């Protein structure tokens, strides 16, 4: 993991200790903290500059000036709300970024104020987006010998998580709500946090073939325990969680709750795992420190007396490929222009990874099949979509821009005539199947490297490709439960909660995978060596839990803090004028709190003593207007925005161009999410997601160079399904 061993990374302020810096250090880079009076001197010869923008920054640090002075420098410029617009001078913290980005409003119990996610979820996500952008620019610099500025806006990154709220608003004009310990889909609210006899677990009934065996296993276990079981006899292959009658769902969930109340955490770990039910214990941060799976994967780094997260991903060297291929001409532009990607992605993690690569200019060929269509082609979340139509799902459209689609049944005779030339064509192969699946298909890393010694295989899974749990079940909620994210989200006097319809691991891991891919591409350019990259959602989520893991070993055991933060004198979410309207307020120190009390006309007492009067005062204030007043007084504050606010009324967000209108053949023209990165010099425009198999003939004739008559023969045999 020494891909950046020859590179210096200069930082200002707290960036030296942030997740982005830790990511680059894990690749061998040297971090060099600087100061305002030395920064220009220190930037001489540096490869990267990590810079959290402030309105008072010197003119010399503005992008055009730095680019002129240091033409090879990759300047990573992070801001909470963008450098232009009405919020350019606003301060921004995790709480206020989450509020303005839409995540905070969707997290918590519906009968209480919204509650922030564990630690700095939005800012960690922003750092991983920045890592992917920086390493894509690093790859581009390997060809052009020029650097550039990359701007990352934390609010835009947070908004990019909101695929479900966006599409439900776009197509049905409905708003999703916070749902406590349940997943709030477009058509259903599915409970997933369940009290056990001694803790909690994450569990959800999954749709169709993906969930059928585990759903049946749960039903069988309920029967053996002798609890009432209304799930008995369900045809799980045809179960659709989005279409289940709400009355039936309530009856099922009451029975499941009763069952789990009789089960312990150790029962879930042992018996639940043996049976293969989709359940994971909601762990505390310190539980991971003793996990044999993580020890087997050598995840931890020992800093006596502490054990801290190490690598963000694992990498296995491939064979020497000889002289790297010359860059290929392309009309699309972008930092990954000319890179060829063979995409075996499924659901979110793989699909978002290859969307990132495609949006950055790579040529992505998505291999999919009508015999096992992607979940995002099946889940009917809006009224514009129909059961049985694989091409009318806006969820798929958002997640799969900038790709071509090849319909191919990999289990059919004759498919090797197509897939092997594509492996030889590709620079990257991306997959997020269950570990072992690619080997069963004859496409594991060893097989790929025999066909193409320089190939880079990028694999994503919940537990990673190795270790005792590698082949266990897992989804987005699994990584959150295992890492302590779920345990630390919510109020101390209630059950943990989740951020409703907003995935986390599923949207953060793809940026780690994309960053790793870009770094490996540049490494191959320099050394001729391919690689297998192994990314684990569990481990990436633990990286976000870094501070809690340290706290668990050095001080009091971390507990759910609600909206409190030990780094602030006071922070909270208070009611504002209007139905379900709120304002997030953060006072960094006593002085800020005193100024706030003066503005509110309240006695300057301890926050707990005047919480009631504060809430009474804010409840009569417009959240946006009050936040603007407070920011002008140097107090960090923001209104909690919903999806209508974000998509229809937020001019500052719109200035970031987070959405691009693309014309879909079945759904018409509608705004799609961009990848939230802004490059000063190399950018590309996304294009719409494909219909299943839309480019099959084009790909097979032009890339594979199969004879048209042979194409027709294979098509008649059902290979292109």
- Residue partners of 556: CB distance under 8 A and separation at least 6: none
- How far is C-alpha 583 from the geometric centre of its chain's CA atoms? 26
Q: pLDDT digits over 443-459, tens only?
A: 999 999 999 999 999 99
Find the helix packing angle between 121-144 and 537-544, rounded to 10°. Answer: 110
Task: Give me 474's structure tokens.
Answer: 């897992």
Q: If you search the block for the tokens 């920086």, which residue do you land on? A: 134
Q: pLDDT digits over 591-647, tens only?
A: 999 999 999 999 888 888 888 999 999 999 999 999 999 999 999 999 999 999 999
pTM score, whole prediction: 0.96
- d(CA 695, CA 704) in angstroms, rounded, equals 12
Q: Which helix H or strand E contains 514, and what residues bound it? A: helix 505-527
Can you say whether the dihedral through the CA atoms of 361, 73, 317, 21 is positive or negative?
A: negative
- How far is C-alpha 623 from the geometric centre of its chain's CA atoms? 29
Task: Give me 384's structure tokens.
Answer: 């514009």
- d(CA 328, CA 351) in angstroms, rounded, equals 24
CA-wise closest residue to 144 among 338, 357, 323: 338
Task: Give me 661's structure tokens.
Answer: 């209108």
- d(CA 139, CA 697) in angstroms, rounded, equals 31
User: Could you give the C-alpha distances from 134 to 77, 126, 148, 310, in angstroms and in order?
Assistant: 10, 12, 9, 20
Structural domains of the chain, ranges and CATH numbers in brackets? 8-159 (3.40.50.10540), 314-470+502-544 (3.40.50.10540), 570-644 (3.30.1540)
Phi, psi of 712 (to 5 degrees): -60, -35
Q: If you search the block for the tokens 């402030």, which residue do you land on? A: 54
The DSSP line for 275-318 is HT-SEEE---HHHHHT-HHHHHTT-EEEETTEEEE--SSEEEEE
- For each successive 10 residues of the chain (721 residues), what is the average pLDDT? 93 89 96 92 95 83 91 96 89 96 96 96 98 98 96 97 94 94 84 96 87 93 96 91 88 97 96 92 95 96 91 90 58 91 93 97 97 86 88 93 97 95 97 93 96 96 95 89 96 95 94 98 94 97 96 90 94 96 96 94 88 95 97 96 97 95 96 96 94 97 96 96 93
User: Could you give the C-alpha distances from 297 to 78, 281, 452, in angstroms and in order?
Assistant: 32, 20, 27
Q: Is residue 455 within 8 Å of residue 525, measured between CB atoms? A: no
Q: pLDDT digits over 162-183, tens only?
A: 999 999 999 999 999 999 999 8
Instruction: Convert 61-85 into a string of H (helix), E (strand) and C (coil).
Output: HCHHHHHHHCCCCEEEEEECCCCCC
Q: pLDDT digits over 638-686, tens only?
A: 999 999 999 999 999 999 999 999 999 999 999 999 999 999 999 899 9
């Amino acid at each position: 993991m020494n891909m950046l061993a020859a590179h210096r990374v200069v930082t200002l302020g707290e960036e030296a200790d942030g997740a982005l810096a830790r990511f680059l250090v894990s690749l061998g880079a040297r971090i060099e903290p600087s100061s305002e009076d030395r920064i220009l001197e220190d930037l001489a010869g540096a490869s990267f500059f990590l810079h959290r923008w402030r309105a008072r920054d010197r003119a010399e640090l503005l992008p055009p000036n730095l680019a002129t002075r240091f033409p090879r420098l990759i300047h990573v410029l992070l801001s909470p709300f963008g450098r232009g617009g009405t919020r350019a001078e606003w301060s921004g913290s995790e709480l206020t970024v989450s509020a303005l980005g839409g995540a905070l409003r969707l997290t918590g119990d519906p009968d209480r104020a919204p509650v922030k996610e564990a630690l700095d979820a939005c800012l960690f996500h922003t750092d991983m987006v920045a890592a992917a952008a920086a390493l894509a620019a690093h790859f581009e610099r390997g060809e052009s010998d020029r650097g550039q500025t990359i701007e990352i806006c934390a609010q835009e990154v947070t908004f990019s998580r909101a695929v479900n709220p966006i599409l439900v608003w776009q197509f049905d004009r409905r708003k999703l709500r916070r749902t406590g310990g349940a997943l709030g889909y477009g058509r259903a609210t599915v409970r997933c946090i369940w009290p056990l006899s001694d803790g909690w677990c994450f569990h959800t009934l999954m749709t169709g073939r993906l969930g059928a065996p585990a759903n049946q296993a749960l039903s069988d276990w309920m029967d053996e325990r002798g609890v009432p079981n209304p799930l008995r006899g369900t045809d799980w292959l045809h179960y659709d969680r989005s279409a289940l009658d709400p009355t039936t769902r309530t009856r099922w969930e009451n029975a499941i709750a009763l069952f789990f109340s009789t089960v312990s955490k150790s029962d879930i770990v042992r018996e639940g795992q043996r049976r293969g039910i989709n359940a994971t214990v909601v762990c505390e941060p310190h539980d991971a420190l003793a996990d044999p799976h993580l020890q087997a994967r050598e995840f931890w780094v020992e800093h006596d007396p502490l054990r801290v997260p190490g690598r963000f991903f694992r990498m296995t060297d491939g064979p020497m490929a000889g002289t790297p291929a010359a860059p290929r001409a392309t009309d699309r532009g972008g930092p990954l222009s000319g890179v060829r990607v063979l995409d075996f992605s499924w659901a979110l993690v793989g699909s978002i990874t290859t969307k990132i690569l495609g949006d950055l200019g790579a040529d992505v060929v998505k291999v999919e099949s009508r015999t096992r269509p992607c979940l995002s082609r099946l889940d009917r979340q809006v009224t514009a979509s129909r059961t049985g139509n694989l091409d009318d799902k806006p969820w798929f459209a958002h997640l799969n821009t900038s790709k071509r689609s090849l319909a191919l049944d990999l289990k059919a005779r004759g498919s090797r005539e197509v897939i092997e030339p594509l492996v030889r064509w590709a620079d990257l192969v991306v997959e997020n199947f269950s570990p072992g699946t690619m080997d069963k298909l004859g496409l594991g890393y060893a097989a790929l490297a025999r066909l193409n010694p320089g190939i880079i295989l990028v694999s994503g899974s919940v537990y990673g490709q190795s270790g005792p749990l590698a082949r266990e079940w897992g989804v987005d909620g699994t990584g959150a439960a295992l890492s302590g994210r779920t345990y630390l989200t919510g109020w101390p006097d209630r059950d943990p909660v989740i951020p409703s319809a907003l995935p986390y691991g599923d949207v953060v891991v793809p940026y780690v995978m994309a960053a790793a891919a870009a770094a490996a591409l540049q490494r191959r350019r320099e050394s001729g060596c391919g690689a297998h990259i192994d990314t684990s959602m569990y481990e990436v989520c633990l990286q976000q839990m870094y501070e809690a893991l340290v706290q668990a070993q050095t001080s009091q055991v971390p507990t759910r803090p609600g909206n409190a933060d030990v780094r602030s004198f006071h922070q909270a979410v208070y009611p504002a004028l209007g139905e379900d309207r709120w304002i997030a307020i953060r006072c960094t120190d006593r002085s800020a709190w005193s100024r706030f009390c003066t503005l509110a006309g309240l006695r300057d007492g301890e926050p707990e003593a005047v919480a009631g009067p504060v809430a009474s005062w804010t409840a009569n204030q417009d959240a946006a207007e009050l936040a603007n007043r407070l920011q002008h007084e140097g107090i960090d504050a923001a209104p909690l925005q919903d999806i209508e606010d974000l998509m229809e009324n937020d001019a500052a967000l719109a200035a970031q161009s987070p959405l691009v209108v693309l014309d879909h053949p079945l759904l018409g023209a509608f705004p799609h999410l961009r990848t939230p990165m802004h490059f000063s010099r190399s950018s590309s425009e996304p294009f719409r997601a494909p219909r299943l198999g839309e480019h099959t003939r084009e790909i097979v004739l032009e890339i594979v160079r199969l004879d048209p008559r042979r194409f027709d023969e294979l098509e008649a045999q059902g290979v292109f399904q």
